[in-house]
Amino acid sequence: MERTVSRGAILRALLKKELIAYTRDKLYLFLTLLTLVFVVTIFWIMPDSVEETITLAVSPPVETLIAEGVETFRAMGAPEEQLAELSEIDLAEESEGVDLLGFENVDEMTAVIEGSLEAWRTDSGELVIRDREAGDEKPEDATRLSVDIGVAFPQSFIADVAAGTEGVTVTVYSDAAAPPEIENAMTSFVREAAYQLAGRDLPVTMPDEDTIVLGVDRAGDQVSYRDKLVPMLAFMILLIETFSMTSLISVEVLQRTVSAVLVTPARIADILAAKSIFGTSMALVQGLIVLGLVGAFTSQNWWLLVIAILLGSMMFNGVAMIVGSAGKDFLGQLFYAMAFTVPLILPAFSVLWPGSAALWVQAIPTFPVLDSLVNITLYDAGWAEVWRSFGFALVWVAVLYGAGLFTLKRKVESL
Amino acid sequence: MSLARIWKVLRKDFAMGPRSPFFLYALVLPVVLTLLFQSAFGSLFEPKPRLGIVDAGSSGITAAMEAAEGIELTLLEDAEELRRQVEANDLDAGIVLSAGFDEAVRDGSRPPLEFFIGGESYASNRIILTVTALDTIREVEGAAAPVTVEIVNFGEEGLPLALRLVPIIVFYALVLAGVAVPGSSMVEEKEKGTLMAILVTPVKVSEVLTAKWLLGMVLTFVMAMMTLVLNGAVGSRPFDVMVVVFVASLLTAMLGLLVGVVSKDSAMMFGLIKGTGVVLFAPVLWYLFPNWPQWIAKLFPLYWIIEPIWQVSVMGESLSAVWMELAIALGIVAAMLPLIVMLARRMQAQMAAR
């Protein structure tokens, strides 16, 4: 008696078998869920802002310096317009990137820089100095400020410099932990302020402010490390799924259950198709869940993200098939899996660095997938911006997937 | 328990160890990571402002910028390439200096300054590069500054970046040598049936477990110490460092033993390491991002060994500063001991039933 079984039915049966094998080990399943939860929790715990300003302590506060200057100039008989101009100086506004912190007392400022006193800023913007050793309580609704550098101006700084008085000295106090470029820049900052007060124009013509900034100006709106983690997390999940898929394939190869399957009407092509579909689907679903839980989807980018994760899933599934077919035992296969996947992780780290990835990183197969994920999630890229990356990724998918299918087919045939 | 039998099992494990991929990883990975982190990833957490200059006339500004501390300078030939790199955020800012620029500055003809800033550069880097460049141009002008700036420094220099990456590398040394090696050694013995074979000899389960624990401890101690030495992080208290690393090796090897006893096979062991790996790794993140709330780090078990290593080896503290962390780590070891004994009995019963 012979009963014809359709290829579709065989494939469905094999997929069901894969799912049962995957869910059989409850511990494995629990740990997979735990990883997902942990990864998402870590994401939401991380700060979502970027600290891009230098906190500069100033003594006396700029307002006091200006008021002093105005009084001196008034006494010298300066016209009211000049005094009004001086009063309207807002150094904080003019110095984007510098957060000025005014101290009435130089000793207090140096103690904060030295670390023996703490500086806190309340939500209403008030500066509170806390002497921890004296038992001062932590101020309520306040954030502690990290102050590494401060400038002590002479009280009559503005008037002295404007009058061309010789021997005006400003002291820059700096914690040794302050980077040298900040110390040098603040020294330059003080000198330039003095040049301006002395009425000495720059010896160059500065370009128009609008033409200075190239690209989208992200000052005050930088991509945070948390946001940079979004493509990285999706990528890591795909990578971890490679290990799971490798395990599923290798167990079948090592325990020869694949030979048992082949005595049924199932052919090698059915097994390869089932492995491909199952592995890709598992990685795809987990990648999409993570992206969903970290809020990466928008109504514009969802389909691009699905394509990117699909390409990534297929690529990693190809790697899993190669690795799953290699090695003589489980630990050997784990060794191969790590040897294959560690280089594939490197592009994920390149996201954390500013600028373009090095050429050798761009040559790694996973780079185009990661590049498209970065551009979609961080820079709102559309199809026009990512199709090239998708193209490169597709070529790599063809190579790795082809190699994976070929290797697994050879292995199954050899059993 | 016989010390002689423990020694025999341990000697066998050391002889067979190099055949295991985990053993090889434990030996190689800390060294590879040290090289990788020091060379490739050294500039991640304290990125320096990056300036590009196209200089057509050997300007004094270029020379001054080359000498400026803390600024990463790139010299380029082509202004278009400079603009491209600034726009791509490969540089924070760029300056194009035409031939005769310095002379034009000095003779007061106020030449136009071609200065670009990348849209993605941080505001702090913008101001550093802008004021430093302007100050340098003022120097080239040659006029005396209307103010003298004095610098007063406090304290000692901050930690070099390389040292801040030490917890990551030490973590891998601890987990691979302490958890993966004894765990995989135990599991492999179960899978290949050699554990059963050993147990029909006078060797007891407790002796096998002790030998595996010692295997993990010795390897962890050696690899963690080697990692610290390679990273120049032993500091001025080598004895104190050895004590904290010893406690760390006790705890991680105990974790490895737990993994080995619980896991029925390699797949389960790998699943356990995979699943708990993120929990084990978590405290290391707080050394990379010190602004995160520190209390969260204390919820993770390996915090209690990584923190003492950090404090003693990197921060130069003495043992008295970390006694509480060490006591908690030893407490965790003590708490795991009865659990392992119970699981080992169950494992033995399962093996006997087969």
Please spell the DSSP secondary structure of B118-147, one letter per residue: ETTS-HHHHHHHHHHHHHHHHHHHTPPPSS
- Between B116, B147, B149, which is nearest A214 by CB? B116
One-letter amino acid at B230 equals L
Interchain CB distance below 8 Å, A174 and B153: yes
What is the chain B residue with the closest CA to A30? B275
pLDDT at B258 (0 to 100) = 92
In tens, the pLDDT along B270-302 reads: 778 777 777 888 888 777 776 677 788 888 888
Asked if A153 and A58 touch (Cβ cutoff 8 Å), the reply is yes
Interface of B with A in 7-36 (CB under 8 A): 20-22, 24-25
Q: What stretches of chain B show up as alpha helix (H) in DSSP? A: 3-16, 21-39, 60-67, 79-87, 101-106, 123-141, 161-164, 166-174, 181-192, 194-199, 205-230, 238-262, 266-288, 294-297, 303-309, 323-353
Task: Measure in Å the smallest separation between the Cα of A302 and chain B Cα atoms.
Answer: 25
ipTM of the complex: 0.76
- How far is the C-alpha of A243 from the C-alpha of A233, rounded, in Å? 16
Structure tokens, B311: 């404090």
Confidence category of residue B38, pLDDT binned at 50, 70, 90: low
- pLDDT digits 0-9 by tens, B164-201: 778 878 888 888 888 888 888 888 888 888 888 888 88
Q: How far apart are CA B92 and CA A370, in angstroms?
A: 23
Question: What is chain B's alpha carbon radius of gyration, rounded to the nearest angstrom?
Answer: 28
Report percent pLDDT > 90 for chain B. Answer: 26
Give yes or no for B39 touching A (CB within 8 A).
no
Give the nearest chain B residue to A226 (CA atoms): B289
Residue listed under structure tokens 């040559």: A363
Q: Is B266 on the interface with A (CB under 8 A)?
A: yes
Rounded to whole angstroms, the Cα distance separating A5 from A266 reads 9
The upper half-sphere exposure of residue A10, i.e. CA atoms within 13 Å in the direction of its Cβ, equals 19
B19 pLDDT band, cuts 50/70/90, is low
CB burial string A57-96: b at 16+ within 10 A, e below:
bbbbbbeebbebbbebbeeeebeeeeeeebeebebeeebe
Interface test with B, best of A181, A247, A353, A361 (most B CBs within 10 A): A181
pLDDT score recorded for residue A263:
79
CB A146 within 8 A of CB A101: no
Q: How many CB pairs under 8 A join A and B?
A: 272
Over residues B117-124, the mean pLDDT reads: 87
Residue A341 tokens read as: 């996947």
Sheet holding B72-76, edge to edge: A213-214, B114-118, B93-97, B50-55, B72-76
Please name every residue paired with B131 in a beta bridge, in sequence order, or none if there are none. none
* Cβ of residue B202 closer than 8 Å to a chain A Cβ: no
Q: Give the least confident one: A342-356, B96-110, B242-256.
A: A342-356
Radius of gyration of the CA atoms of chain A, in A: 32
pLDDT of res. A334: 66
Nearest-angstrom CA–CA distance, A299 and A270? 37
Chain B residues with CB-CB distance to A348 below 8 A? none
Q: Residue A176: closest CA among chain B residues belongs to which residue?
A: B157
Look at residue A205 and give its three-state secondary structure: strand
pLDDT at residue B162, rounded to an integer: 63
Dig out the tokens for A257 from the structure: 């259950």
Return left, alpha or beta for A115; rule: phi > 0 is left, psi -120 to 50 is alpha, else beta: left
Of B223, B212, B199, whose CA–CA distance to B349 is shortest?
B199
8 A C-beta contact, residue A110 and residue A173? yes
Tokens of A297: 């989807």
* B286 to chain A: closest CA residue: A46
Decide if B120 and A213 are in contact by the 8 Å CB cutoff.
Answer: no
Helix, strand or coil, per DSSP, at residue B8: helix
Name the pTM for this structure: 0.67
The dihedral over CA atoms of A267, A268, A274, A275, expressed in degrees to the nearest 10, equals 160
A232 neighbors A348 (Cβ within 8 angstroms): yes
Residues of A in contact with B143 (CB under 8 A): 200
- Confidence at residue B335, expressed as pLDDT on a 0 to 100 scale: 92
Could you tell me which residues come within 8 angstroms of residue B156 by beta carbon, excluding any fewer than 6 positions away?
A: A176, A177
* Percentage, residues of chain B above pLDDT 70: 91
**Which tokens in the block code for residue A28?**
């494995």
Q: Is B155 on the interface with A (CB under 8 A)?
A: yes
> What is the average pLDDT score of chain B?
84
Angle at A23 between CA A19 and CA A26, to 5 degrees: 175
Calculate the alpha carbon distances from B101 to A7, A212, B55, B57, B113 in Å: 77, 19, 9, 7, 9
Q: What local confidence, expressed as pLDDT, does residue A38 receive? A: 76
Tracing tokens 């070529």 back to the chain, one arrives at A395
pLDDT in tens, chain A (415 residues): 556 778 788 888 888 888 887 777 666 677 677 777 877 887 887 777 777 888 889 989 888 888 888 888 788 777 777 777 776 665 555 567 788 888 988 999 999 998 888 899 888 888 888 888 888 888 888 888 888 899 999 988 888 888 888 888 999 998 877 888 888 888 998 898 888 888 888 888 888 776 688 887 877 778 887 888 888 888 778 877 777 777 778 777 777 787 788 778 888 888 888 888 888 898 899 889 989 998 889 988 999 999 999 999 999 888 888 888 876 666 666 667 777 877 887 787 777 677 777 788 888 999 999 999 988 988 888 999 999 999 999 999 999 988 988 888 888 878 7
Say if CB B166 and CB B245 are below 8 A apart.
no
For residue B108, list chain A residues with Cβ-Cβ distance below 8 A: 203
pLDDT for the residue numbered A307:
95
Closest partner CB to A177 (pick from B111, B157, B275): B157
pLDDT at B36: 62
pLDDT at A202: 87
CA B114 to chain centre: 41
* Enclosing H/E stretch for A211: helix A209-212
Residue A276's nearest CA partner among A243, A315, A240, A239 is: A315
Distance from CA of A300 to the nearest CA of B (A): 23
Per-residue confidence (pLDDT) for residue B252, from 0 to 100: 92
A204/B113 Cβ within 8 A:
yes
| Closest C-alpha to B24, from B134, B184, B160, B168 | B184
Structure tokens at B300: 């993770």
CB-nearest partner of A247 from B21, B119, B270: B270
